[in-house]
Amino acid sequence: MESLQGLLLALIIMVFGTTTHLIQAQPDPKDFISLDCGLHPAASPYTEPLTKLTYTSDANFTQGGQSGRVQKSFEEDYKPFTVLRYFPDGIRNCYNLKVILGTKYLIKALFLCGNYDGLRDAPKFDLYLGPNIWTTSKWQDGPVVATTIRVRFPPCGNYSASSGHQSGKTTPIISALELRPLRDDTYNTTSGSLMLFKREFASDNFSPPFIRVNASTPYELPQEVISKAVVNQNVTEKLSFDWYVDDRKDQAFIYLHFAEIQTLRGNDTREFDITWEGDNENFTVSAYLPPKLQLETLYNPYPMKCTFLECTVELVMTKSSTLPPMINAMEAYKIIDFPDAETNPEDVAAVQNVRDTYEISRIDWQGDPCVPQMFKWEGINCSYTNTTIPPRIISLDLSSSGLEGLIASSIQNLTHLQELDLSNNNLSGEVPEFLANMESLLLINLGWNSLAGPIPEALRDREKKGLKLTVQGNPNLCLSGSCNNNNEKVLVPVIASVASVAALVALLVLIFVFRKKTPLAEGTAAATTRELPRKSSIYSRKKRFTYSEVVELTDNFKRVLGEGGFGVVYHGSLNDTEPVAVKVLSESSVQGYKEFKAEVELLLRVHHINLVNLVGYCDEGGHLALIYEYMANGDLKQHLSGESAGSTLKWASRLKIAVEAAQGLEYLHVGCEPPMVHRDVKSTNILLDDRFEAKLADFGLSRSFCVGAETQVATVVAGTPGYLDPEYYQTNWLNEKSDVYSFGIVLMEMITNRSVIELTREKAHIAEWVKILISRGDLEKIVDTNLGGDYDSTTVWKILELAMSCVSHSSSDRPTMSKVVNVLKECLISENSRIKGGQVQDDDSKNSLELNVDFGTQVTPDAR
């Protein structure tokens, strides 16, 4: 199934077709929902003359799409559905319909293209019912004809979403949508729902005049259908109906509707056998006699599989019959399963209330917030235990969303919420105490708003128990806990403050008088009037910089160090002495504010000798910049590839760098609270300082994950091709083992000095290529020839084994980063011993490093 980017119909059943002969039960029409999609609200409601159904505009049932009209040459054929709604924007658009718990429904949708856009292209898009894929729209007879889809549903809940997504560059459309309740004793299945495959009934084949059939059965068909019949003119031929399924596993039901509408003469008999030979069992009715002017419906009581994808039902005249078989109508249905559960309804109601409170108008905030999983709402993460358990919302990110007013009280109804980010908005009022009562919350970011007053004591208590609370950037927020607005209590401090100010003024006056009477010593005047350094505004280190300060410390962006996905990196200096690297977001950057914010927040709260230190950042008027400690020797990739000046890194140096990078990654996994996944580990993100100490960099894609029962989180896949964990790519489930995979690829780079993706070799991907050579025992072809054989083969084999275990296809088979660190340290100790045993070292700066294996406590994981 192709992925689609467009229409999401949020309903509980399925789509509508324009037929005047509806084969279904007829409950009270006032319970029907009949939408003429794209119809202007001023033109509805109206009653369709043939079906007598009352149609209304769909304007109140969807928030997306635009109105279109079929070309004039098709209007006569398409009446009354000459308008349609098309959805050019958004990755999903929804129709939301309310249903009654425990009621069975029929849903039908009509898609009339009518060359409305003049392109004569048949649109193709997927349709979803809630979280489940329903079908793909198909225009088999050309780009301008109608497509109808129907499905009958078992009893269901009171909220549902059906969805479609645009495929390629086509735009989803819909012309009409109907939802109606059915009787409980019709169209029953042991499991799943029924989707119409084939339907046949008579037009004018056999239609006696003025015949009325009693249709008072569960299957109350319209008189226009049951007062006519299909019959062969050749009385010796059998009457058969054929249809095809897509898969041999597909199961089907048939519904055969009979009523004898002919007045039989004295010796006439209409008797026939009904047979359907299935793949697993047969459906047979022998010597059947249709009841006179009374509707009767026959169907197979159990689902059946068709033989070789072809389903055939035959009506064969018996030897005692004088008249051929006849049938008024037949329906064939395929069973389709909708196994995935919708989001917990309490979470749905809560997040919809948040949306309405802040008037959030994001195009993708329609329908179900968590499902379908690949189209969940932006800024929301959910827990997905299995398909039958409703997902729960565990993360809500509304940072930089233009929110105003108080913090919405409906947030407290998201009882499984673990992370809440409301930063960089214009929220006002006090920090609500209900946040402290949300037991699942692990992280709250309220920074850079206009909040005021004290922070609730209960929230401070939660902080002491591990809650991460960020509140900086709220100038009127009291952080000390001693705020009090009681006038009586503040009266004494105010008087004391006034007295102190008065005393200070008096003291300054005395000093001024005294200095006027005392002449300055020679040379002192020059000293006191000496001009301060040009960059005095940033003389002292700080975390947040203005854009003018960034311009100043980079000398107007004079020296470029490099360029990446975020933007250009410039050289800068603090105090004219301390070098820094300044990464400035470019307008064309593939990364954006979300990644910028993620990196700032991570680096402000984590500190480790093997993580690049964040000196500060700039977030002012659309200017975004990150200011790091300067890493004088660039990245690992440059030194492996020979891009940097100097000789090749020796094996011992590579091992030391691997240990240090692994320690930084280990700290993120087990030393941070909550733990972090880097998501973009690669050789270009391992930087080297002036002493060739390795530090992990670029945390814009980093994500936190939970510990305990849930050790992974569903995310949109991010990372670098070649380094990206295939399990994460296929499932969207992220955990720390995704970083382990990427680090395994880095180890292979260190050993081989070969590109991660190289189309000209036997296997393009480095892991597959190394695997083949390992199976042949060909170590010499694996190891970088620039090492000149200066390595211990035992150590190299051990690192190769470690790297291969890191890139295991299943994350459960990969080691932890703590295990990786231990193995690397053992190998480095072994290599150090080999070198001290008499091997000659080169004198260049890269390889005369002191390979100290006593790493000490400063590099062990330590939460802050």
Q: Which are the catalytic amino acids?
A: 680
Phi, psi dihedrals of residue 520, rounded to the nearest 5° = -75, 145
Is there a contact between 23 and 115 (Cβ–Cβ < 8 Å)?
A: no
Is there a contact between 593 and 617 (Cβ–Cβ < 8 Å)?
A: no
E strands in 113-175:
125-129, 132-136, 146-156, 159-166, 173-174
The conformational region for residue 715 under phi > 0 = left, psi -120 to 50 = alpha, else beta, is beta
Residue 583 counted as an annotated binding residue: yes
Q: CA-to-CA distance for 92 and 3, rounded, in angstroms?
A: 11
Beta-bridge partners for 316: 273
Helix (H, G, I), strand (E, B) or coil at 769: helix
Per-residue HEC secondary structure of 722-753 comes to CCCCHHHHHHCEECCHHHHHHHHHHHHHHHHC
End-to-end CA distance of the chain: 46
Return the structure tokens found at 580. 């820094």
Q: Is 814 exposed, middle or buried (0-12, 13-18, 19+ CB in 10 A)?
A: buried
DSSP state of 686: E
Q: CA-to-CA distance for 166 and 136, rounded, in angstroms?
A: 10
Return the structure tokens found at 520. 């300055």
Looking only at Cα atoms, what is the longest distance across the chain? 143
Q: CA-to-CA distance for 689 and 8, rounded, in angstroms?
A: 51
235 vs 17, 270, 322, 505, CA distance in Å?
34, 11, 8, 120
Which residue, 293, 404, 414, 292, is CA-closest to 350? 414
Q: CA-to-CA distance for 333 and 304, rounded, in angstroms?
A: 11
Q: CA-to-CA distance for 329 and 254, rounded, in angstroms?
A: 11
Which residues are CB-neighbours of 751 under 8 A, at least 6 positions away? 654, 770, 782, 783, 784, 796, 799, 800, 803
Helix (H, G, I), strand (E, B) or coil at 689: coil
Cα angle 759, 698, 422 (rounded to 5 degrees) comes to 125
Return the structure tokens found at 167. 């495929």
**Sequence letter at residue 832:** N
R_g (Cα) of the chain, nearest Å: 37
Enumerate the known binding-site residues for ATP. Answer: 583
Enumerate the known binding-site residues. Answer: 583
